[in-house]
């Protein structure tokens, strides 16, 4: 649910002010694994409502072309030579346990393919920025816990599964959770999201949801470029948002793990897309 708006005012300069309720997280911002799963279930219920009969809204202020917003495919022709050079650097090749000189450029070349795949999957309404930083766990009077979301500026149509790409990848990228927990977070969030879709009455193929999720993660190629730049010493700082006190070595370790997770999701999306005959 969204934080309640107590008032909306406009000042003499034309600036609109939203007066929202003060939302306090019941866990003090330090979520246990069960809360990530619970929040994902609530997101699944939200997305599922628009997959089972509720019509998608058509307000002009909704964000269009969300996949292009994340991937910016028009920048790839310029970025690809940079990525090829960075990924071929000996320092980058030593840092990655995979053939990064091949995998990094391939990720960029496949970005238009991922965007096309996402456009063919079931569409719903998404928050589009549902990372932990924008979610609060609030205990209700009956003891249940609800998820309150803020920062709805990116709300708009999106693909089933895309919502949790931000909950998983965005949460780790912003430094709210260690990338060493990527596999566990992936498992808990995906299971919770599927349960939420089921709660809403959606009975589609879970692998289609998995394809939407992994392909949406694969759009975040900017993280990989930033990691390569930091590794090769071009002056790019290695800072994970809220984890601003991390040492450079620790931050680089986290960025490498995130990059590996990104590449794994891209590979999984390719395999699933082939299964559904979306790519050769």
CB-based contact 228:104 (threshold 8 Å): yes
Region 169-173: mean pLDDT is 95
Which has the minimum average pLDDT: 8-22, 98-112, 168-182, 195-209?
8-22
Q: What is the pLDDT of residues 31-44, one digit of tens each?
A: 999 999 999 999 99
Nearest to 194 by CA among 168, 173, 213: 213
Q: Report whether pLDDT(240) > 80.
A: no
Burial of 246 (0-12, 13-18, 19+ CB in 10 A): middle
Say what percent of the chain tops pLDDT 90: 84
Q: What is the pLDDT of residues 62-110, one digit of tens each?
A: 999 999 999 999 999 999 999 999 999 999 999 999 999 999 999 999 9
- The architecture of the domain spanning 24-275 is Alpha-Beta Complex (3.90)
The domain limits of the chain are 24-275
Which residues are bridge partners to 145 per DSSP? 139
Q: Report whether pLDDT(242) > 70.
A: no
Q: What is the pLDDT of residues 173-182, one digit of tens each?
A: 999 999 999 9
CB-based contact 189:172 (threshold 8 Å): no
Q: Report whether pLDDT(220) > 70.
A: yes
Q: What is the pLDDT of residues 100-152, one digit of tens each?
A: 999 999 999 999 999 999 999 999 999 999 999 999 999 998 999 999 999 99
What's residue 237's pLDDT? 65
Q: What is the pTM of this model?
A: 0.94
């Amino acid at each position: 649910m969204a934080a309640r708006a107590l008032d909306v005012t406009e000042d003499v300069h034309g600036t609109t002010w939203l007066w929202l309720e003060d939302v306090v997280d019941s866990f003090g911002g330090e979520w246990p694994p069960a809360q990530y799963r619970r929040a994902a279930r609530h997101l699944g219920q939200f997305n599922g409502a628009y997959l089972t009969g509720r019509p998608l809204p058509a307000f002009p202020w909704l964000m269009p072309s969300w996949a292009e917003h994340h991937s910016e495919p028009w920048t790839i022709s310029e970025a690809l030579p940079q990525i090829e050079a960075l990924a071929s650097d000996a320092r980058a090749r030593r840092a990655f346990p995979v053939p990064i000189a091949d995998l990094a450029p391939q990720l960029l070349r496949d970005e238009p393919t991922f965007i096309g795949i996402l456009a063919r999957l079931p569409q719903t309404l998404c928050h589009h920025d549902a990372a932990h930083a924008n979610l609060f766990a609030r205990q209700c009077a009956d003891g249940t816990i609800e998820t309150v979301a803020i920062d709805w500026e990116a709300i708009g149509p999106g693909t089933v599964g895309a919502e949790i790409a931000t909950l998983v990848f965005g949460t780790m990228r912003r430094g709210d959770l260690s990338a060493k927990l990527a596999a566990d977070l992936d498992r808990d969030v995906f299971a919770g999201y599927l349960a939420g879709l089921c709660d809403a009455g959606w009975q589609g193929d879970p692998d289609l949801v998995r394809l939407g999720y992994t392909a949406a993660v694969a759009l975040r190629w900017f993280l990989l470029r930033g990691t390569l730049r930091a590794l090769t010493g071009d002056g790019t700082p290695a800072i994970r948002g809220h984890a601003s006190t991390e040492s450079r070595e620790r931050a680089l370790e986290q960025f490498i793990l995130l990059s590996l997770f990104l590449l794994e999701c891209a590979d999984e999306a390719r395999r699933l897309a082939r299964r559904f005959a979306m790519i050769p």
